[in-house]
Amino acid sequence: MRYLVTGGAGFIGSNFIRFLFKKYGDDASVVNLDKLTYAGIRENLAEYEGKKNYRFVHGDIAKPEDVAEAYKGVDGSGVDVVVNFAAESHVDRSIDDAAEFVETDVRGVLVLLEHARRAKLSLRRFVQISTDEVYGSIEDGSFTETDPLQPRNPYSASKAGGDRMAYAYAQTYGMPVIVTRASNNFGPYQYPEKLIPLFVTNALDDQSLPLYGDGKNIRDWLFVDDHCAAIDFLIEHGTNSEVYNIGGGNERENREITHKILELLNKPASLIKQVGDRQGHDRRYSLDTRKLEAAGFKCDTNFDAALEKTVQWYIDHEPWWRAIKERSAEYRAFYEKQYANR
Ligand code: NAD
Ligand code: DAU
């Protein structure tokens, strides 16, 4: 199969490309189209550079000429499947400035879809990677795929725009679109601005862990390998025009995750620093995953084992995260000040 993966230099995209090569070997060819924003790290996939079935295209999904180049595939013969991971992905950054979020997470999706339509490409699948955040927050129960979308922050509002644009191309033009809405991922190569890698790397450095608000917000944690396997499953067995929730089934309060990380690293609870709350902070995310299970896929990774494995990965890959943290020191200082003042 010939894949076009966008955002493949980021966290989930790089894990997905590695997953494809491990599972399909030379039967898969992958073009990785990535803009290399602050979150894109080309070296994440250094092991595949120079291989005949992998091609990195440095470009922007919102630029038609970059998109046209990537759709050519690794050898000019085109692609069968598009998986669009490319996005601005961090909620705190969207609260500070949403413009890039709209540009990439809405307009970028349009440009990717529109190229396929105008060029009359016969794709097998176009997978739009959406998020559980598009539903908004839920106190009790779980969201099903037919629940209304009520995004509550600029990131999730732009993701909802991309999600519905992809759906519209399925309905209007018959494009073979599948939309996936996954819960909070964790695992190797996650940028250390997100809760788990930020707290693990801060704790390793004996720096404080800035827990927002009362620390009782709930997220449903999904190990990135399960997410990759679910996407691969849906490419093979999903139904076009359908939306699928992908949840890990591991709902935890943030404070529980925080204590677990400290325990695994044998660090004191005194490192926890309760800071002001995120503006519009969603209280709880929860997904009903019966549709995906009925199709034949269930996430089955043990959460505690996966968290331990993830923490170990950060211990073993200090140069990787330290370089990023040094580059982003100014950004962190800015956010620390903002949260301290709330
Ligand atoms: P990430 O921030 O780690 O990576 C995003 C990647 O997209 C980076 O490599 C970046 O350079 C690239 N990118 C950004 N703008 C681009 C553009 N205009 N053109 C091309 N490339 C661009 O993000 P992630 O956590 O790996 O998330 C990947 C996708 O999964 C996103 O669409 C996100 O909304 C979705 N998602 C993430 C989670 C999660 O918990 N991380 C959960 C559900 C859904
Ligand atoms: O639910 C899926 C979404 O999960 C994805 O669509 C997003 O791309 C991804 O960033 C993630 O969004 P969250 O806002 O849930 O993730 P984040 O890691 O930023 O925060 C997780 C929880 O931890 C949230 O309740 C806020 C809290 N938090 C986060 C940070 C960074 C803290 O308490 N302190 C922090 O420093």
| Predicted local distance difference test score (pLDDT) of residue 337 | 85
| Predicted local distance difference test score (pLDDT) of residue 340 | 80
Whether residue 217 has its Cβ less than 6 Å from ligand 2 = yes
Whether residue 339 has its Cβ less than 6 Å from ligand 2 = no
Whether residue 250 has its Cβ less than 6 Å from ligand 1 = no
Q: Where does 236-331 show beta strands of DSSP type E?
A: 243-246, 251-253, 272-275
| Predicted local distance difference test score (pLDDT) of residue 341 | 77
- Among candidate residues 3, 71, 135, 155, the one labeled active-site is 155
Active site residue 96: no
Within a domain: 63: yes
Q: Are 247 and 221 in contact (CB under 8 A)?
A: no
| Predicted local distance difference test score (pLDDT) of residue 297 | 98
- Among candidate residues 60, 66, 88, 133, the one labeled active-site is 133
CA of 331 from ligand 2 middle (Å) equals 16
pLDDT in tens, 181-215: 999 999 999 999 999 999 999 999 999 999 999 99
Residue 105, domain extent:
2-186+221-246
CA of 128 from ligand 2 middle (Å) equals 20
Q: State the DSSP H helix or E strand holding residue 84, giving kind and residue range, or none if neither.
A: strand 81-84
Domain count of the fold of the chain: 1
Within a domain: 325: no
Least distant ligand from the CA of 41: 1
Within a domain: 11: yes
| Predicted local distance difference test score (pLDDT) of residue 342 | 77
Active site residue 38: no
Within a domain: 215: no
Domain containing residue 85: CATH number: 3.40.50.720
Within a domain: 175: yes
Active site residue 88: no
Within a domain: 24: yes
Query: For 265-295, b where at least 16 C-beta lie within 10 A, e where not — what string?
Result: bebeeebbeebeebeeebebbbbbbebbeeb
Give, for all 342 residues of the chain, the pLDDT tens digit.
999 999 999 999 999 999 999 999 999 999 999 999 999 999 999 999 999 999 999 999 999 999 999 999 999 999 999 999 999 999 999 999 999 999 999 999 999 999 999 999 999 999 999 999 999 999 999 999 999 999 999 999 999 999 999 999 999 999 999 999 999 999 999 999 999 999 999 999 999 999 999 999 999 999 999 999 999 999 999 999 999 999 999 999 999 999 999 999 999 999 999 999 999 999 999 999 999 999 999 998 999 999 999 999 999 999 999 999 999 988 888 888 888 877
Partners of 186 in beta bridges: 223
Cα separation of 16 and 237, whole Å?
Answer: 17
Closest protein CA for atom 16 of ligand 2: 194
Within a domain: 338: no
* Cα angle for residues 124, 128, 134 (degrees, 5° grid): 155
Within a domain: 341: no
